[in-house]
Amino acid sequence: MPPVEKPKKKSKDKRPTRDEAILEEIGERLVEALNEESEVILTIWGWDEPVHGLIVALDARTKLVHVQKNGEITKVPFMDIMKIGSPE
């Protein structure tokens, strides 16, 4: 009996790296949106659709951003946020 081959691991695309200044700016804009209760549009790495809604929590322990839209909360990893915009 021939040996069974292990399935090859699929290499996952790596998240693009951003410098500290960009990460700091994203963090500041998230805090501002949370404090002002303003709606944002987040472009998330690896997600097909942008996330729209209000920032309701920034969890430092899990590094998740909680976005609420129509009573539903979406938790987004901070490091996956590529861009933050407003719905104008």
Q: How does pLDDT run across 30-78, given as a tens digit for each residue? A: 999 999 999 999 999 999 999 999 999 999 999 999 999 999 999 999 9
pTM, entire model: 0.80
The domain in which residue 81 lies consists of 44-88
Residue 6, domain member (yes or no): no
* Rounded Cα distance, 62 and 66, in Å: 11
Counted domains in the chain = 1
Residue 76, domain member (yes or no): yes
Q: What is the DSSP code (8-state) at residue 14?
A: P
Residue 68, domain member (yes or no): yes
Residue 48, domain member (yes or no): yes
Residue 71, domain member (yes or no): yes
* Rounded Cα distance, 71 and 78, in Å: 21
Residue 5, domain member (yes or no): no
